[in-house]
Amino acid sequence: MNPTIRDVAQAAGVGLATVSRVLNDSGYVRPETRERVLQACSDLGFVPSQLARSMVRRSTATIGLIVPDITNPFFPAITRGVEDAASEVGYTVFLCNTDNDPAMEALDVRKLRERRVDGIIFVGTTDRHELVTGLLAGEVPVVVTDRQLDDLDVDSVLVNNSLGAQAAVRHLIDLGHRRIAHAAGHPATRTGQDRLAGYQQALQEASIPYDPSLVVFGEYTLESGYAAAQILLGRAPRPTAVFAGNDLMAIGMLRAATEAGIAVPDELSVVGFDDIQMAALIHPALTTVRQPAYDMGRRAMTMLHERITGGIPAAGRRHIFQPELIVRRTTRRRD
């Protein structure tokens, strides 16, 4: 059994309150007494119970991080950013995977509330407004990342998806492409909608008519990118370029193109979104739109911390990162 503060007090020949004071560096303690207490602590191998502390302090120095799937290469970087920023302010993080399953999300939120986390960061989860509003109503600080909840007054860390998509498509247009397909993300996600909107916007600016038959929806997975490519590359005349909803889909499309004997970038240009580590490593290296995932994680955590420690106006704040086009080897001028 773990020794308690009482054991320490007895061993050091002092009262409970005194031990607590040296542990927390609060109030007056004679240096000599402090020394005796510290000695007793290490003699007994005393490890204070954060549980007991949390009960009375009504805060746990703990946050919940809800991601769809840590195995998806976009999320580890965000997670790491959150973790690092959390560590710096003494917080520990609970990790939850939901697979975008609303039931799972609700379960995780419940678990986190029972554990009395000081706050929750949602990253790229389904848009279940009720969940978040419930949290907000219960006065649980929340930050949402990689997902825009428009009608909700919640702190968010976002990337300008529309702008990123525009940059990607403009790049293709600048290279002389006119027949540009889009393998979009899930239509129910704001992220997917915004990128699609950016795609349309860029086309419009270049006076290229929007052709719905060149847009197919997927689920941000490699497989759905592969499937989307099979449809899109079958269109006649075949598109000369394609903008994918994310890197994983782009890589799936690359694969489909290779199998179909379509050379990239010679016969087909491809642009992704995210700039996951893999993007630079595949062959040919993927042209993509970079999201600063690590920094987004960090920012989400610092925003959450500010919200937790108060002093922040009640209104939901938004931090919007600007995406950046990274030109590599999957795009090429059309001759």
Partner DNA sequence: CTCCTATGTGGAAACGGTTCCACATGCTTT
Partner DNA sequence: AAAGCATGTGGAACCGTTTCCACATAGGAG
Minimum distance, C-beta of residue 275 to DNA, in the bound complex (Å): 44
**Between 1 and 137, whose beta carbon lies closer to DNA?**
1
- Burial status of residue 97 (CB atoms within 10 A of its CB: 0-12, 13-18, 19 or more): middle
Instruction: State yes or no: residue 84 binds a copy of itself (CB under 8 A).
Output: yes
For a copy of itself, the binding residue among 25, 26, 28, 114 (CB under 8 A) is 114
Kindly state the DSSP code that residue 61 receives in the 8-state scheme. S
**Between 37 and 123, whose beta carbon lies closer to DNA?**
37
Give CA–CA dist 156/122, Å, rounded.
9
Minimum distance, C-beta of residue 61 to DNA, in the bound complex (Å): 11
Cis peptide bond upstream of 212, omega within 30? no
Give the binding site for DNA (CB under 7 A): 1-2, 4-6, 13-21, 23-24, 26-30, 32-33, 46-49, 51-53, 55-58
**Between 181 and 250, whose beta carbon lies closer to a copy of itself?**
250
- Alpha helices, DSSP H, located in the chain: 5-12, 16-24, 31-44, 50-57, 75-88, 102-114, 129-137, 161-174, 190-205, 222-232, 247-259, 277-281, 293-308
- Burial status of residue 334 (CB atoms within 10 A of its CB: 0-12, 13-18, 19 or more): middle
> Whole-angstrom distance between the N-terminal and C-terminal Cα of the chain?
76
Give CA–CA dist 183/244, Å, rounded.
5
Instruction: State yes or no: residue 129 binds a copy of itself (CB under 8 A).
Output: no
Task: Give yes or no for a contact between 109 and 101, defined as CB atoms under 8 angstroms apart.
Answer: no
Minimum distance, C-beta of residue 112 to DNA, in the bound complex (Å): 15
**Between 35 and 153, whose beta carbon lies closer to DNA?**
35
**Between 33 and 221, whose beta carbon lies closer to DNA?**
33
Instruction: State yes or no: residue 83 binds a copy of itself (CB under 8 A).
Output: yes
From the list DNA, a copy of itself, none, pick the one residue 83 interacts with, judged by a Cβ distance below 5 to 8 Å according to partner type.
Answer: a copy of itself
Instruction: State yes or no: residue 76 binds a copy of itself (CB under 8 A).
Output: yes
From the list a copy of itself, DNA, none, pick the one residue 5 interacts with, judged by a Cβ distance below 5 to 8 Å according to partner type.
Answer: DNA
Kindly state the DSSP code that residue 221 receives in the 8-state scheme. S
For a copy of itself, the binding residue among 6, 115, 129, 318 (CB under 8 A) is 115
**Between 155 and 247, whose beta carbon lies closer to a copy of itself?**
247
Choose the stretch contacting a copy of itself; rule: CB under 8 A; options: 91-99, 194-202, 232-240, 314-322.
91-99
Instruction: State yes or no: residue 111 binds a copy of itself (CB under 8 A).
Output: yes
From the list DNA, a copy of itself, none, pick the one residue 46 interacts with, judged by a Cβ distance below 5 to 8 Å according to partner type.
Answer: DNA
- Assigned token pair, 308: 């937790």
Give CA–CA dist 93/79, Å, rounded.
10
| b/e 292-319 (16+ beta carbons within 10 angstroms → b) | bbbbbbbbbbbbbbebbeeeeeeebeeb
Minimum distance, C-beta of residue 80 to a copy of itself, in the bound complex (Å): 5
Instruction: State yes or no: residue 85 binds a copy of itself (CB under 8 A).
Output: no
Give CA–CA dist 191/240, Å, rounded.
25
Minimum distance, C-beta of residue 222 to DNA, in the bound complex (Å): 44
Instruction: State yes or no: residue 205 binds a copy of itself (CB under 8 A).
Output: no
- Burial status of residue 20 (CB atoms within 10 A of its CB: 0-12, 13-18, 19 or more): middle
Helices and strands: H and E segment counts in the chain: 13, 12
Which residues contribute to the site for a copy of itself (CB under 8 A)? 2, 45, 47-52, 54-55, 60, 62, 65, 69-71, 73, 75-77, 79-80, 83-84, 92-97, 110-116, 138, 222, 251, 255, 277-278, 281-284
